[in-house]
Structure 1
Amino acid sequence: MKTHTNESAENYLETILMLSQSLPVVRSIDIATELNFSKASVSVAMKNLREKHMIEVSDAGFITLTESGSEIARMIYERHTLLTSWLESMGVSPETAAGDACRIEHVISKESFAALKKHIKAQ
């Protein structure tokens, strides 16, 4: 059974995934800096994600994705990168494409995304 997450949680999970690819460890301050959010807001979000078993936080404050958190993060990241590059290929500016992809990635159905992905790869 799939755990439902909201757009905010998906953004946090995607950010943790992206930061983990460039940093040796991910901490709340790294997420706050990346998203330009307050440390308090990030702390509340991390508590919620921990309670939903989407992340684990070590005693040293290092944040890692659980298997379910990683699955959601990879799904959102794939949607983001594919939608961004597709929009850019149609002449949309990189900034607009990234912003629009960020909004679309959370609301597009699995069926529509799969069809879009198949169409893009067939071109």
Structure 2
Amino acid sequence: MHIRESAENYLERILMLQRSKGYARSIDIARELGVSKPSVSVAMKNLRENGYIEMDPEGLLSLTDKGMEIAEKMLERHTSLSRFLIALGVEEETAYEDACKIEHDISEESFQAICAHIEKNGGLK
């Protein structure tokens, strides 16, 4: 299953908002990603039409199983890559930004090799 990087970012952000606030709304996504509300509205419409999210009458967003699978994968990659880069000595903000770029393009094989390396070397401190 392959979707656009921007869609992966939206799904990941919905998951992060749900975990931190207990809910996700379009306005929160726009604010956190630094994009316009109309851009988020178009993206949410596309995600809804493709079966990745659902929206209740109050405008609260939820991930479908299909959307959750992608969101969890992106969040795991982002978290692991950020922690790995920080452990290498990269500044936290730079590590977070770089991980956001890398998480979408890294192959599953390379990501698993990084995770195996981390595990082999006692995890990240």
Structure 1: distance between partners of 2:78 and 2:40:
22
TM-score, with length taken from structure 1:
0.95
Tell me which residue corresponds to 2:117: 119
Which amino acid counterpart does residue 118 of structure 1 have in structure 2? A
1:66-100 per-residue CA deviation (whole Å, 9 max, x = no partner) reads 00100100000000011001101111000111111
2:35 to 31, 34, 37: 37
Structure 1: distance between partners of 2:22 and 2:109:
35
Tell me which residue corresponds to 2:108: 110
Q: Percent identity?
A: 57
Query: Please, which runs of 5 or more residues in structure 2 have no aligned partner?
Result: none
Which amino acid counterpart does residue 24 of structure 2 have in structure 1? V
Structure 2: distance between partners of 1:112 and 1:51:
32
Structure 2: distance between partners of 1:25 and 1:99:
24
Structure 2: distance between partners of 1:25 and 1:84:
24
Other structure's SS at 1:26 match: coil
TM-score, with length taken from structure 2:
0.94
Residue 121 of structure 1 and its aligned partner are, at CA, apart by 1.1
Other structure's SS at 1:79 match: helix
Which amino acid counterpart does residue 62 of structure 1 have in structure 2? L
What CA RMSD, in Å, does the superposition of the two structures yield over aligned residues?
A: 0.8
Other structure's SS at 1:64 match: strand
Residue 25 of structure 1 and its aligned partner are, at CA, apart by 2.0
2:70 to 72, 84, 99: 72
Which amino acid counterpart does residue 27 of structure 1 have in structure 2? R
Residue 7 of structure 1 and its aligned partner are, at CA, apart by 0.5
Other structure's SS at 1:119 match: helix
Number of positions where the alignment pairs a residue of Structure 1 with one of Structure 2: 121
Tell me which residue corresponds to 1:99: 97
Other structure's SS at 1:56 match: strand
Tell me which residue corresponds to 1:15: 13
Other structure's SS at 2:22 match: coil
Structure 1: distance between partners of 2:88 and 2:51:
39
Which amino acid counterpart does residue 43 of structure 1 have in structure 2? S
